[in-house]
Structure 1
Amino acid sequence: MALGDDKKTLFLLRHAKSSWKNNNYLPDHDRPLNKRGQKQGLKMGKLLKELNAIPEYVVTSTAKRAVDTSNLIVESSGYHGRIDLDPSLYHQTSADQFIKTLNNMPDIYTRVLLIGHNPSLEVLIKKLTNREEIMKTCSLAQIDLRVKSWKDIVCEGENMIIGSLVNIWHPNLNEK
Structure 2
Amino acid sequence: MTKSPPESSPPESLSSQTGLQLVLMRHAKSDWADEDLSDHDRPLNKRGLRDAPRMARWIAESGLLPTHILCSSATRTQQTAMLMQSYWDNTKLETAHLHVIPELYLAPGDAILEIVCNDFANSIENSGNQPRTVLVLAHNPGISYAASALLEHAIGLSTAAMVAFRCDIPRWSVPLTAENTRYLAEMKPKGLDRDARPQT
TM-score, with structure 1 as normaliser: 0.86
Kept in 2, the 8 Å contact 1:32–1:64? The answer is yes
In structure 1, the residue matched to 2:101 is 86
Post-superposition CA distance 1:78-98 (Å, at most 9, x none): 34231010000001x112221
Measured after TM superposition, the shift of residue 12 of structure 1 is 1.0
> Unaligned stretches of 5+ in structure 2?
1-16
Relative to structure 1, the CA distance from residue 79 to residue 65 in structure 2 (aligned partners, 3 Å threshold; closer, same or farther) is: farther
* Aligned counterpart in structure 1 of residue 188 of structure 2, from 167, 170, 173: 170
Greater shift in the superposed pair: 125-134 or 32-41 = 125-134
Matched, 1:98 2:102: no
Kept in 1, the 8 Å contact 2:130–2:171? The answer is no
Kept in 1, the 8 Å contact 2:30–2:48? The answer is yes
In structure 2, the residue matched to 1:132 is 154
Measured after TM superposition, the shift of residue 153 of structure 1 is 1.1
Relative to structure 1, the CA distance from residue 113 to residue 119 in structure 2 (aligned partners, 3 Å threshold; closer, same or farther) is: same
Kept in 2, the 8 Å contact 1:45–1:75? The answer is no
* Aligned counterpart in structure 2 of residue 66 of structure 1, from 74, 77, 81: 77
Divergent runs of 4+, >4 A: none
Measured after TM superposition, the shift of residue 175 of structure 1 is 8.7
Size of the aligned set, in residue pairs, is 166
Structure with bigger RCO (C-alpha 8 Å, 6+ apart): 2
Structural RMSD (CA) = 1.9
Equivalent position amino acid for 1:82 in 2: H
Partner Cα separation in structure 2 for residue 65 and residue 43 of structure 1: 16
In structure 1, the residue matched to 2:24 is 12
TM-score, with structure 2 as normaliser: 0.76
